[in-house]
Amino acid sequence: MVLTAMAGFFCGDNVNADLFEQQGASAEATRSGKPLAARMRPQTLDEVVGQDHLLGPGKLLRRAIEADRLGSLILYGPPGCGKTTLAEVIARVTRCRFERTSGVLANVQVLRDLLKAAEHRKKHGGGETVLFIDEIHRFNKSQQDVLLPYVEQGAITLIGATTHNPFFFINSPLTSRSQIFQLEPLSPAAIGQLLERAVTHPDGLAAQPVHLTDEAVAHWAAVCEGDARRALNALEIAALTTPPGEDGTIPITRAVAEESIQKKAVVYDHDEDEHYDTISAFIKSVRGSDPHAAVYWLAKMLYAGEDPRFIARRLVILASEDIGNADPRGLTVAVSALSAVDFIGMPEARITLAQATTYLATAPKSNAAYLAVDQALKDVKEGRTLPVPKPLRDGGPVGRKQLGYTGYKYAHDYDGHFVDQEYLPTSATYYAPVEQGYESTIRKRMAHWDELRQRARAGKGGGDA
């Protein structure tokens, strides 16, 4: 399938033509030799499965497609959920000229040529143009900026497909001028429906005597992570490599299904949405004191090949941000885990990470230290920088007296190793320990010191106690 810009056509008089093959061949001829997943692409909205929240009866996107009243839109979802399929279906029902390109191969010049042609066509009565851009997130900012004036002026209707969160990877001017529809991974039932259809469909495996067991379907539906393409590819491999049985049929059992797809596919692209979403779920589960969820997300990341040192570094941050002095040992555990993970590596590092994860998840929680430093940083940034009180300044053995830097009280010379004196020329408070774990002890200690300060400042002589 060609991914660069292709000549479009008017589909009002040729609705059933194959939009992406312009060689004049019949549909049957163009489909021969294609992978099963390509041959089984739905041709109508009724054949699309698994996106009922968008395409069910009466849903907004379905109504817009059927009424040919589409504005620019961005289809966002994981691989194999039907983004390109939906764009092709839209092409078949729209009366607009349909052009297609890809964020992988197209450059600024290709875009300009397509956009100027669409603008010229509209001005001279040639009709509207729908421009489909697959993997639009791969366009850089300058390429996306090229699209903006044409989308804004209505010269084209843009359909972008992306596996990345459009609010992070697509310019905000484009997202604000487009409707964003999030497609979900296909459910096991939807995957099963597609597999059953492929076995009996003329464009699928109907010519082969395939006997597909329920166990095989259930296995693929479970391990393909909602990716229709992966499930259909596994089915095709199984059908092509399994010898017929005594009755002449090709038996596709669970054992065959397992062999045809060696490892469970986990949607987890490094430095992309699933990476950030999963580490976010992991951290929030530890913060929320749920060790079961935390270990599950840890396992998902490790299975997908995440760098264990990245996970350990995040635990070190969490130990200070979310546990702090409620359990000071949490930071020691996290730092030790980071060191151990770096020293021993995988697969044994999984055990160390699990220990650190479960310890931190079950530790008492406090973000008091985190809040304290952020509030202090805010005050430093936005307010007047406070001078260091003279008794606290360091002018050297000689300069301290000459500059008036005297009067410092050495806390260890006083009862309880505490003395009241000015350490900050403001009454602002930053660290507020909570009633959790060891911080409850700290809270009581600080309250005792506050009481001593108040007594000293009231002239009751308690400041040196």
Q: Is the pLDDT of residue 10 over 90?
A: no
Question: Is the distance from CB of 326 to CB of 443 less than 8 angstroms?
Answer: no
Instruction: Answer whether residue 31 shows pLDDT above 70.
Output: no
State yes or no: pLDDT of 292 exceeds 90.
yes
pLDDT for 441: 93
394 burial (CB, 10 Å; 0-12 / 13-18 / 19+) is: exposed
Burial call 210-233: b when 16+ CB within 10 Å, e when fewer: bebeeebbebbbebbbbbbbbbbb
What pLDDT sits at residue 403? 66
Q: How much is the pLDDT for 399?
A: 58
For the chain, give the percent of residues with pLDDT over 90.
36
Read off φ and ψ for residue 409, nearest 5 degrees: -105, 120
Share above pLDDT 70 across residues of the chain, in percent, rounded to a whole number: 87
User: How far is residue 250's CA from residue 248's CA, in Å, rounded to a whole number?
Assistant: 7
Give CA–CA dist 438/326, Å, rounded: 5
From 180, 196, 179, select the one nearest 188 (Cα to Cα). 196
* pLDDT surpassing 80 at residue 27: no
Instruction: Indicate the angle between helix axes 108-123 and 141-153, nearest 10 degrees.
Output: 10
Q: Residue 175: which H helix or E strand, with range?
A: helix 172-176
Among 389, 314, 396, CA closest to 357: 314
pLDDT digits (tens, 9 = 90+) for 296-307: 999 999 988 888
Contact 162, 136 (CB under 8 A): yes
Q: Pairing state of beta strands 179-182 and 73-76?
A: parallel
Would you say residue 24 has pLDDT above 50?
A: no
State how far the alpha carbon of 16 is from the alpha carbons of 11, 220, 236, in Å.
Answer: 8, 32, 26
pLDDT digits (tens, 9 = 90+) for 367-412: 999 999 999 999 888 877 788 888 877 756 655 666 666 778 888 9
List alpha helices for 19-165, DSSP H: 27-31, 36-39, 52-55, 60-66, 83-93, 108-123, 141-153
Please give the Cα distance from 276 to 326 (Å, whole number).
27
Contacting residues for 303 by C-beta, under 8 A, at least 6 apart: 264, 266
Burial of 460 (0-12, 13-18, 19+ CB in 10 A): exposed
What are 196-226's pLDDT values in tens digits? 999 999 989 988 889 999 999 998 988 888 8
Q: What is the pLDDT of residues 143-166, one digit of tens each?
A: 888 898 898 888 888 999 998 889
pLDDT score at 7:
32
CA distance 297 to 283: 9
Tokens 């950030």: give the residue: 276
Q: What is the pLDDT of residue 398?
A: 58
Calpha distance 309→321 (Å, rounded):
18
Could you tell me if 368 and 432 are in contact, meaning their C-beta atoms sit under 8 angstroms apart?
A: yes
Separation of alpha carbons 1 and 12, rounded Å: 23
CB half-sphere exposure, 327, CA atoms < 13 A: 18
Q: Which of 458, 428, 452, 431 is nearest to 443 (CA)?
A: 431
> For residue 341, what pLDDT is reported?
93
The CA distance from 170 to 173, in Å, is: 9
Q: Furthest-apart CA pair in the chain: how many Å?
A: 106
pLDDT band at 465 (very low <50, low <70, confident <90, very high): very low
Q: Provide the pLDDT confidence category of residue 462 given band limits of 50, 70 and 90.
A: very low
Structure tokens at 348: 């044994």
* C-alpha–C-alpha distance, residues 14 and 218, integer Å: 39
Average pLDDT of every residue of the chain: 84
pLDDT the model gives residue 263: 65
Amino acid code (one letter) for 335: V
- Using alpha carbons only, what angle is made at residue 275 by residues 272 and 279, rounded to the nearest 5 degrees? 145
CB atoms within 10 A of CB 128: 17
The CA-based angle 75-80-86, given to 5 degrees, is 45
When mean pLDDT is compared across 232-241, 323-332, 414-423, the lowest value belongs to: 414-423
Q: Is the pLDDT of residue 18 over 50?
A: no
Q: At what angle do helices 349-362 and 329-344 cross, to 10 degrees?
A: 170
Round to whole Å and give the CA distance between 170 and 306.
Answer: 25
Domains of the chain: 27-182 (3.40.50.300), 188-260 (1.10.8.60), 273-362 (1.20.272.10), 390-464 (1.10.3710)
